[in-house]
Structure 1
């Protein structure tokens, strides 16, 4: 489109938004309707950024680029995806939290990894999830425990017996990478000792860990169910259990860990606590001090985008499913994760997540 025509259209859209807001005042509508109209007027013709804390081409990048055009239509703005890789996405979240709170920048964040970093006081963490404005979750990944097909065991009971009698090596990339900490929580819930469970760090991504499992160099790995499909399809790795209370639709025959073994109260607490962190998933956030009317307007537009049947169908077709969770539910999850921990319990969580089983 010629730049003149585009500007002309955007200018007309802005004038219509202003006119609509004026009419609302004349008609004496509620202050909330006026605030929404004012926010809608603000976004007309602006440039909005969706920050992704990873390189182009990965899952986060693909989700952001799938969401951006739909959000652009709803906001009447130009929506661009900006990749800011580094620190597993945490560096970009630091920049967002300290950036200008004008409502023009949001981030598709690994809320799960961010919560783990904050819980364990990871060095360089300069954000507070309790102070962010949550806009909505795009997707959540169920965690699966996978076992090497090079090993003779074929069920969780058999694998657990081997872990108890001979010990086992499970792979991970680094501390609190959603692989190592899930593995550690599983071990803690099962009452395993450091000799029975060894978490080996240093693999360059889950695909590298999976390759080690396929080769029999590692006994197991915890991955998302969407990734587990790839490893189970050629029988190179065996799905043992789902680390949740409900089965995963992609693995309807695989039991949950709660079905596979009788867990005591302590074991159930560990798994439920970690599952709540998992439920944060990949979420859209912005600064907590963005003007209220803009934050509320963004929440509503994100809701409409992530529940759009057309986008849901597109996501399913590309094997990038959407599992929307509203902003208020996300905020409740965050509050429950952090507010329920005493200093003693937090220290215990940090020890289990980052030290106890790591080699």
Structure 2
């Protein structure tokens, strides 16, 4: 039995351009959208013919405003698509607000046709909310990973730059649209054209779905100390159940005092303080991006009591978790 074709290679008339349908949600990421479009435009130019075409649609069919404030005229409303179309949901900040019932119902209806559905940047949230990623592997921008994992337990969330799981495509945002489009171009038109597009974009390091979206710990913190990096990785993966500094030190083969000196020297803070900042940062993401109760946010970030959580949060952010949640709700209602 023949192996299934990749989802990005759609059997069709070789003389017929592959059509992309970009669904622009309010506050969509301009960078993600622009790099996707530019990759397709350059592919047409380098191929010497139209191998890809695209259209922009959205709720209402008139305009959509990107996260940079620029208004785009749409080609149409959320209408009927063809089975050979590749549907790309472009989202950005405040994706929860732009993921409306109309968008969700339309996505579910069109997905039943079996077409390829993708989410650029936070578009994965919209796909997951519609139930289109249940039981699938997916990715989303690292800033949204914590809230996504809490809300969509049936999705296998990865930290990859992009993910192709059968007919579902997701990207992590930023320039990852280029990597996904180069894969699609390679699958449909060959590696030579994809490489030519990358050269035109001056994109010298083409990433695959095996590449992770965030910098390594040493690069991120500007310190190349293997034991310090290992401890920070352990902290980042144990937010809900924090590990004591003594156990962290023991696990990397040093004393608690040595670990303290290491953090003071390179990060100018104690291990306990650094760990607390990581936990509070996750808490803030959950408060801003989900409707989880403050108590559940506290538990998800390793705080045994709401009062202790509130005290630590206020000391770090100069406001309480409740006020943070209230200010976010007020901002979204404007």
TM-score (norm 2): 0.30
TM-score (norm 1): 0.29
Considering Cα pairs closer than 8 Å and 6+ residues apart, tell me whether 1 or 2 has the greater RCO: 1
